[in-house]
Amino acid sequence: MRTPFIAANWKMYKTVHEAVVFVKEFRKLVQDVSDVEIVVAPPFTAVHAVAEAARSSNVGVAGQDLHWEREGAFTGAVSAGMLKEAGAEYVIIGHSERRRLFGETDATVNRKLVAAIGAQLTPIVCIGETLDERERNETLPVLDRQIKQGLDGVHADQIAAMVIAYEPVWAIGTGRNATPAQAGEAHAHIRSRLRQWFGGDAAEQCHIIYGGSVKPDNIRELSSLADVDGALVGGASLDVRSFHEIVTRGRRAAV
């Protein structure tokens, strides 16, 4: 049975003070929500403070990225162990902005995924096609490549425990979002590939969530789709009331 999973990706927004104020208010609003898994991903500078502010609540904490090495001469990078020590339980891997702006590839996604699993962080692995790829009808082959290469060598029980975020790149920060038909097709395809390559149990237990201009006014329709298990929310998660509304509207019967 999959509980809806809704995560806030704050990207390069919020100081430590702003992040803590948000979490202290937000945790009160969702304290009685037991049928949604809730996660916030603050900037690295605020991970520890947010984890402390969220302690003993139903709000989990994620890092926005990580390096695959445990330590080394990697200026500006953060390891899985560092995130874990700071209080993170989850980590976002392969976000389209990391792929587009920082040269992330399916190979580096795979290395980061292995590092996250080794540190007992739950990965939130992002996949999705660009606008050009969609217009060339390459969406499904692109998803196949990203799943096959990004998840290479990962065991079925590890797939079952992770989160995959389908994020059409053309919908990230653009105000556009996939139609229910487009999202439904992509999510069903991802689950079918997981079933084919990792087995039925892994496919049924793995959370597959949607990311791309998610807002309070579209989350309910997206969450009603059989294979959409929640959302990775960007801009609309920066406001306490907006994100609370997304969480409450994103509830649906577990499947």
Catalytic residues: 95, 167
Contacts for 191 with CB less than 8 Å, ≥ 6 apart: 203, 206, 208, 227
3-state secondary structure (DSSP) of residue 37: strand
Contact 143, 190 (CB under 8 A): yes
Distance CA 208, CA 165 (A): 6
| Residue 60 in tokens | 């989990």
- The two tokens of residue 187 are 């999510």
CB 39 within 8 A of CB 54: no
Structure tokens belonging to residue 238: 């920066």
